[in-house]
Homo-oligomer: A and B are copies of this chain.
Amino acid sequence: MRLVYLIPGPMSRGPLGPGELVRRRAVLQRSAFPGTEVEVRDVPEGPASIESAYEEYLSVPATLEGLMALEREGVDGAIVGCFGDPGVDAAREVCRMPIVGPGEAAMLLAAALGHRFAIVTVLDAIVQPLRRLAWSVGVLDKLASVRAIGVPVLELYRDLDATAGRIAEVGKRTIEEDGADTVILGCMTMAFAERHRELAAGLGVPVVSPAHAALKLAEALVGAGLTHSKRAYPVPPKLARAQP
The complex places the Cα of A33 from the Cα of B208 at a distance, in Å, of 22
Which of A31, A51, A212, A236 lies at the interface centre, i.e. has the most chain B CB atoms within 10 A of its CB? A236
Partner of A33, one of B33, B47, B94, B233: B33
Q: Which residues of B have CB within 8 Å of A181?
A: 229, 231-232
A229–B182 contact, CB under 8 A?
yes
Q: Is A108 an interface residue, CB under 8 A from the partner?
A: yes
User: Mask for A86-114, Cβ within 8 A of B = 1, else 0?
Assistant: 01011001100000100011001101111
* A236/B109 in contact, CB under 8 A: no
Inter-chain CA distance A93–B56, complex, in Å, is: 12
Q: Does residue A166 face the partner (Cβ distance < 8 Å to B)? A: no
CA distance A108 to B208 in the complex (A): 16
Residues in B neighbouring A221, C-beta threshold 8 A: 109, 112-113, 216
| A54 and B135 within 8 A (CB) | no
CB-contact partner of A132 in B58, B132, B237, under 8 A: B132
A225 surroundings in chain B (CB, below 8 A): 197, 212
Please name all residues of chain B whose beta carbon is closer than 8 Å to the beta carbon of A33 when the two chains form the complex: 33-35, 219, 223
Contact indicator B138/A229 (Cβ below 8 Å)? no
A114-B232 in contact (CB<8A):
yes
7 pairs, A vs B, C-beta closer than 8 Å: A54-B93, A111-B137, A114-B233, A115-B131, A115-B232, A152-B237, A182-B232
